[in-house]
Amino acid sequence: MEKEMIIVLDFGGQYNQLIARRVRECNVYCEVHPYNLSLEKIKEINPKGIIFTGGPNSVYAEESLRCGMEIFEMGIPILGICYGSQLISYLFGGSVKTAPVSEYGKTEIIIDNKSVLFKNVSKKTIGWMSHTDYIEKPPEGFQITAHTSECPVAGMENVERKIYAVQFHPEVMHTLEGMKMLSNFVYDICGCNGDWKMDSFVETSIQEIRKKVGNGKVLCALSGGVDSSVAAVMLAKAVGKQLTCVFVDHGLLRKNEGDEVEAVFGPNGPYDLNFIRVNAGERYFKKLAGVEEPEKKRKIIGEEFIRVFEEEAKKIGTVDFLVQGTIYPDVIESGLGKSAVIKSHHNVGGLPDYVDFKEIIEPLRLLFKDEVRLAGLELGIPDYLVYRQPFPGPGLGIRIVGEVTPEKVAIVQEADFIYREEIAKAGLDKELGQYFAGLTNMRSVGVMGDERTYDYAVALRAVNTSDFMTAEAADLPFELLQKVMNRIINEVKGVNRVFYDLTSKPPGTIEFE
Ligand code: XMP
C-alpha cells in the first residue's frame, strides 16, 4: 500500500515543522521540503496535498522565494499559509500590498462562506496573525472565504483548482479552531484516510538506521533525559550490541540523577546495551570557573561533552556514528533553520567544529517533545521514564545564573529536589509541562534566628506547554508555593529568599539561560 503523505514546502517561515507536526497529529504522515522541490520529486512522492508555509519576505521583493506555476497544474490540493497565501495571490495576478495596519497576535476572524476548509468552524473565530503585507484583492477565479477588521482577505479559495489560502496561522495553538481547518484540508479536501501512526515512524526509523549503520559501531550520547533515552532505545533495537551508550555525569545533574540513570541503562537495568558512565564533574567545574556568559557556558559544556565522547570512542576502537537525542525545538532555536538564534542548545549549535566521527545520527530531529514521548511508549520504554521531566543537556549549568560552582550546584540540587517532591505530593507532576528550581545570581539580606543573613535567592519555575516553543507560567496553589519556600529556606543552607517566576515564553524562555 502506498504511504499517504502531505508535504509542506518551506518558504522560510518559523512554523514549518509545526505545520508538519499538526498534520501528523491528524494521523497523516507529513514532511517538510524546500520551497523549490522539483516537480519530478513531487511526482515521485505523489503527495495527497501540499502546504505552502509563511516566510519573512514580501512576495514582490526581488529576493523573495517563489515556486513556478506548474505546481498548480498537477491537480494536487494546495493550502497556502500567510506568505504562502500571498504568493498564491501574487502568482495568479491578485494584488498584494503592505497592509495599512499590520496585524500581530490573536485576531478575530470572520468566516464569510461555507468553505470546506472552515467546516464546523465558528462564524467568528480567533486566528493567530503575524503579517505586514496583505492580499488587497484576490486573483480572478478566487473567492474570499474569511476577513478581519483590518484584512479584507484572511482566507480565499479556488475550489475548482483545489487551491486554498489563509492569512493567519492554523498550525499555532492560539488559532482556536486551527486543527479543525487542517483536518478539513487533509481529510475533506485532500481525501486522506488517516492511517499513519507513531509506530510507523518508529519502525521506519529503525530500518533506516540499520541500513545506514551496516556493520559500523555506534556511540550514543546518553544524558538520561527523555530525548536521549528514546534515541538510545531506538538505536539499541536497531543495532543491538554495535551500540555503546556513554553517559557523561557532568556534575550538573539533578540530585541522585546519575545513579538513577545507571540503574536503568547500566548492567542491572532492563536493556541489553553497552553502557559506560564517565564521572566528569571536576573537569567541568574547572572549565566553567569564572565563566558567567550563558552562551559561553553552553559552548563549554557542549564541547566538553564531545571531547569526553571522543575519548571514550577511542577506547572502543573505530566508531563510525554518534547518536544524539536532538529534537525539533533544539534545532529551530539554535538557529540552524532560517530563524534567529535564541540559544545554542548544546547538542546542536554548540557542537565544536572538529568532531571525530564519520556521521551524526539524530533520529528524533523532526519530532516535538510529546511526539518523542509517543515514540518512547511505542518502543516499550516504561511510563516513568517517558514522562520524566525534561532536562536540558547543559543541566544545572543553565539553571544557575552566572558562574557555576560546586556549592551553587549543591544548593540547586537540594532546592529542586524539595520542589519536585512537593509538586508530586500535590499530584501535579503529570499535569505540568515543566517545573524546576534555579538559582538567581542575586544575594540579599535577610534575618534568621536573630542573625543577619546575606544569601542567594532561589527561583521556582513551573510552566504549562505542549510544544515547548511557547509556554505560560502555571497557576500553582499559593499554599504549595509557601510550603516549598519554607522547606527550601529551612533545609537548604545558603538560601534566604524564594521567588516564583511568572514569565511566559515568549518573552521569557523556559530555562533561565
Ligand atoms: P527554553 O529554555 O529554550 O527551553 O525555552 C525549551 C525546552 O528545551 C530544553 N532545553 C534544552 N534541551 N539542550 C537540551 O537538550 C539545551 O541546551 C537546552 N536548552 C533548553 C528546556 O529544558 C525546555 O524543555
Do you find a cis peptide bond into 506, omega within 30 degrees of 0? Answer: yes
Atom of ligand 1 nearest to the CA of 344: 17
Task: Give pairs for 376-379: CB < 8 Å, separation 24+.
Answer: 376/226, 376/229, 376/230, 376/233, 378/198, 378/199, 378/202, 379/202, 379/230, 379/233, 379/234, 379/237
Is 41 a residue whose pLDDT tops 80?
A: yes
Question: Is the sign of the CA dihedral 32, 37, 42, 45 positive or negative?
Answer: negative
> CB of 420 closer than 6 A to ligand 1?
no
Strand partners, 218: 243, 321
CA atoms within 13 A on the CB side of 192: 29
Atom of ligand 1 nearest to the CA of 350: 17
Q: 183 and 141 in contact (C-beta within 8 Å)?
A: no
pLDDT at 149: 96
Q: Which of 55, 58, 166 is nearest to 121 (CA)?
A: 166
Contacts of 451 (CB under 8 A, 6+ apart): none
Atom of ligand 1 nearest to the CA of 345: 17
pLDDT at 386: 86
pLDDT at 350: 45
DSSP state letter for 363: T
Nearest residue (by CA) to ligand 1, atom 20, is 392
CA distances from 339 to 12, 57, 329, 431, 465 (A): 8, 13, 11, 30, 21
DSSP state letter for 342: S
Strands 5-10 and 29-34: parallel
Atom of ligand 1 nearest to the CA of 227: 15
> What is the rounded average pLDDT for all residues in the chain?
91
Is 399 a residue whose pLDDT tops 90?
A: yes
CA distance 239 to 251: 30
> CB of 394 closer than 6 A to ligand 1?
yes
> CB of 397 closer than 6 A to ligand 1?
no
Q: Which of 295-304, 452-461, 481-490 has the lowest mean pLDDT?
A: 295-304
CA distance 375 to 231: 9
> CB of 434 closer than 6 A to ligand 1?
yes
The set of cell numbers assigned to 24 is 501528523
Is 407 a residue whose pLDDT tops 60?
A: yes
Residue percentage of the chain with pLDDT more than 70: 94
> CB of 333 closer than 6 A to ligand 1?
yes
pLDDT at 382: 79
CA distance 346 to 364: 16
User: Quick one: average pLDDT of 7-20?
Assistant: 92
Contacts of 396 (CB under 8 A, 6+ apart): 252, 253, 254, 404, 409, 412, 413, 416
Nearest residue (by CA) to ligand 1, atom 16, is 345
Choose between 427 and 328: higher pLDDT.
427
Choose between 313 and 93: higher pLDDT.
93
Contacts of 447 (CB under 8 A, 6+ apart): 453
Distance 269 CA to ligand 1 centre (A): 27
> CB of 511 closer than 6 A to ligand 1?
yes
Nearest residue (by CA) to ligand 1, atom 7, is 468
Atom of ligand 1 nearest to the CA of 398: 19
Nearest residue (by CA) to ligand 1, atom 9, is 392
> CB of 505 closer than 6 A to ligand 1?
yes
The count of other CB atoms within 10 Å of the CB of residue 231 is 31
Residue type, 451: E
pLDDT band at 271 (very low <50, low <70, confident <90, very high): confident
> CB of 388 closer than 6 A to ligand 1?
no
User: Quick one: average pLDDT of 231-254?
Assistant: 93
Choose between 468 and 98: higher pLDDT.
98
Give the helix, strand, coil percentages of the chain, each rounded to 5: 35, 25, 40
> CB of 362 closer than 6 A to ligand 1?
no
Distance 400 CA to ligand 1 centre (A): 14
pLDDT at 199: 86
The count of other CB atoms within 10 Å of the CB of residue 423 is 22
Distance 234 CA to ligand 1 centre (A): 22
Strands 472-473 and 451-464: antiparallel
Residue that is written with C-alpha cell 536573630 in the block? 450
User: Quick one: average pLDDT of 384-393?
Assistant: 83
Atom of ligand 1 nearest to the CA of 347: 13
- φ, ψ (nearest 5 deg) of residue 231: -60, -40
> CB of 221 closer than 6 A to ligand 1?
no
Substitution site in 345, 351, 501 for ligand 1 pocket (most atoms within 8 Å of beta carbon): 345
Atom of ligand 1 nearest to the CA of 509: 5
Distance 511 CA to ligand 1 centre (A): 7
pLDDT band at 332 (very low <50, low <70, confident <90, very high): low
> CB of 299 closer than 6 A to ligand 1?
no
> CB of 300 closer than 6 A to ligand 1?
no
Choose between 346 and 311: higher pLDDT.
311
pLDDT at 1: 42
Nearest residue (by CA) to ligand 1, atom 4, is 510
CA distance 392 to 227: 10
Q: Residues with catalytic annotation?
A: 82, 169, 171
Q: 174 and 135 in contact (C-beta within 8 Å)?
A: no
pLDDT at 142: 98
Q: 330 and 349 in contact (C-beta within 8 Å)?
A: no
Residue percentage of the chain with pLDDT more than 90: 70
Distance 345 CA to ligand 1 centre (A): 7
Distance 223 CA to ligand 1 centre (A): 13
Nearest residue (by CA) to ligand 1, atom 21, is 392
The count of other CB atoms within 10 Å of the CB of residue 351 is 19
Nearest residue (by CA) to ligand 1, atom 17, is 345
pLDDT band at 356 (very low <50, low <70, confident <90, very high): low
Q: Tens of pLDDT along 171-208?
A: 998 999 999 999 999 999 999 999 888 888 899 999 99
User: Quick one: average pLDDT of 72-84?
Assistant: 97
User: Quick one: average pLDDT of 456-474?
Assistant: 91
Q: 415 and 490 in contact (C-beta within 8 Å)?
A: no
> CB of 392 closer than 6 A to ligand 1?
yes
Nearest residue (by CA) to ligand 1, atom 24, is 390
